[in-house]
Amino acid sequence: MPGRRNFLKTAAVASTGIALTGLRNTSTAAGYNRIKNAGRKINLACVGIGNRGADIISELYKTGLANIVALCDADLGAAHTQKMLDAFPGAKRFKDFREMFDKMGNHVEAVCIGTPDHSHFPICMDALRRGKHVYVEKPMARTFLEAELLIKAAKKYNKVVTQVGNQGHSEANYFQFKAWKDAGIIKDVTAITAHMNAPRRWHNWDVNIKKFPAAEPVPDTLDWDEWLAAIPYHDYNKDFHMGQWRAWYDFGMGALGDWGAHILDTAHEFLQLQLPYEINPLKIEGHNDYFFPKASTILFRFAARGKMPPVDVTWYDGVDNIPEVPEGYGTSALDPNIPPAGNNTIQPAKLNPGKIIYSKTLTFKGGSHGSTLSIIPEEKAKAMASKLPRVPESTSNHFANFLLACSGQEKTRSPFEIHGPLSQVFSLGVIAQRVNKKLQFNTHTQQITNDAFANALLAGPVPRKGWEEFYKV
């Protein structure tokens, strides 16, 4: 990682001329018939075709709404890409997405992107400029500036459909949260605890690291220069590849960027949280300048919005960093002599990814992705049962929603203008992890006001030569 002085100098160049401005996981039978009879298929190009990228391609193809016309991967021909190459032998093959668009532009209507986080931005931007609909796995961008530019680009190229891959945004929790919010069941929320405490690949690494891992030979199948995309050059090492990229500040967004969109997406949208004014790393275990901490507790403070009160969102990650939960969190009946939820807490030994939402009158617990909320304790849930509104079923899953939107039949549920600010929340959290200090953020000027180095990280380093053009809208 470059020193603060050098980083500030290069970041200033990068930002020249760029101002940061202020219930069910299935569809109805009728919905499936509508999808089945939707008509023409969308010609889809796929960038990133192994591992998670392969899952995305398979799900989009399964809808029956896509023709897979091009496959692109910087490691094309490696073992992890072979499944998709075998599945779609007629699709044109590329290692460089720019070459793919140049040669296939007239035959491609949409693109799905399942590459490492650091390369989401240039692929998305290139596709938008060329008028291609975009499905990109979360997080939609790695830096605050990249997300801001994609929001602006989606607005400029407004005939293009965008969708970010937080699949639960088309499942039960999305429709339930909206229905409960509209009915006044979810109201006056003051605090949210979000947690993802499963082991991560970097938990066993040496936190006393002083430099990046040593250079290793680049695999024969891999175009390393293309894989790096716009970020400053790094020598190849196996720990930067095959999912390991998620651990490094220069490539990924850690557990927060990986899971936050599956846990906080509905609360962020329907509570209109937008951007926090303060980001405070309450606990950072194993801090270093290169890869993410072993455990993090980060407090995001959001201001009042209209009649909605301020909200504190506390994020927990790390195996031994499990938050307290309220009495009555479990499924057993609550003794009437126990004080109401929120007054007493317990420390569970293990907690699946999810959230606890505290309002002035009710407490809700929920999981990740499409998992629905429940009211706790159980006694309160029973008392509220008759007041709960009907929750509509989804007309399409997240993948079909995107493809139907491409043909004008639906609107995407997680477009860039909706997901973008949430992606920026995660970028701010990552900066707080990296500098390990409380940050003050001006939500109007979109600047960090108490640390120049942290503020420079909003834009990130200067793009490599040849990649600067993607940072202009």
Task: Identify the CA nearest to 189 among candidates 73, 55, 80, 312.
Answer: 312
- Residues paired with 136 in a beta bridge: 113, 164
The distance in angstroms from the start CA to the end CA of the chain is 28
Kindly state whether residue 461 falls inside one of the protein's structural domains: no
CA distances from 31 to 182, 378, 401 (A): 24, 34, 11
**3-state per-residue secondary structure call for 57-108:** HHHHHHCCCEEEEEEECCCCCCHHHHHHHHHCCCCEEECCHHHHHHHHHHHC
CA atoms within 13 A on the CB side of 8: 8
Kindly state whether residue 439 falls inside one of the protein's structural domains: no
Domain count, the chain: 2
Kindly state whether residue 307 falls inside one of the protein's structural domains: yes
Same domain as 176, residue 154: no
8 Å CB contact between 272 and 297: no
Kindly state whether residue 456 falls inside one of the protein's structural domains: no
Burial of 347 (0-12, 13-18, 19+ CB in 10 A): exposed
Instruction: Identify the domain containing residue 144 by its residue range.
Output: 17-168+396-415
Helix (H) or strand (E) holding 194: strand 189-196
Per residue in 252-263, pLDDT (tens digit) is 999 999 999 999
Same domain as 272, residue 128: no
Orientation of helix 52-62 relative to helix 398-406, angle to 10°? 60
At 344 the pLDDT is 57
Same domain as 411, residue 363: no
Same domain as 227, residue 301: yes
Kindly state whether residue 430 falls inside one of the protein's structural domains: no
One-character DSSP codes across 263-295: HSHHHHHHTT----SEEEEEEEES--SSB--SE
Same domain as 121, residue 66: yes
Kindly state whether residue 198 falls inside one of the protein's structural domains: yes
8 Å CB contact between 37 and 404: no
Task: Identify the CA nearest to 257 among candidates 173, 164, 319.
Answer: 164
Kindly state whether residue 370 falls inside one of the protein's structural domains: yes
Same domain as 210, residue 103: no
d(CA 108, CA 101): 8
Per residue in 16-28, pLDDT (tens digit) is 333 343 333 334 4
Kindly state whether residue 473 falls inside one of the protein's structural domains: no
Q: Is pTM, for the whole model, over 0.85? A: yes
At 40 the pLDDT is 80
Same domain as 335, residue 274: yes
At 105 the pLDDT is 86
Look up the CATH number of the domain holding residue 127.
3.40.50.720
d(CA 199, CA 212): 22
At 310 the pLDDT is 98
Same domain as 328, residue 232: yes
- Given a cut of 50, the residues of the chain with pLDDT beneath it are 2, 12-29, 331-343
d(CA 279, CA 449): 12
Same domain as 301, residue 155: no
Look up the CATH number of the domain holding residue 346.
3.30.360
Same domain as 348, residue 291: yes
Task: Tell me which of 368, 387, 406 is where a domain ends.
Answer: 387
Same domain as 128, residue 212: no
Same domain as 143, residue 265: no
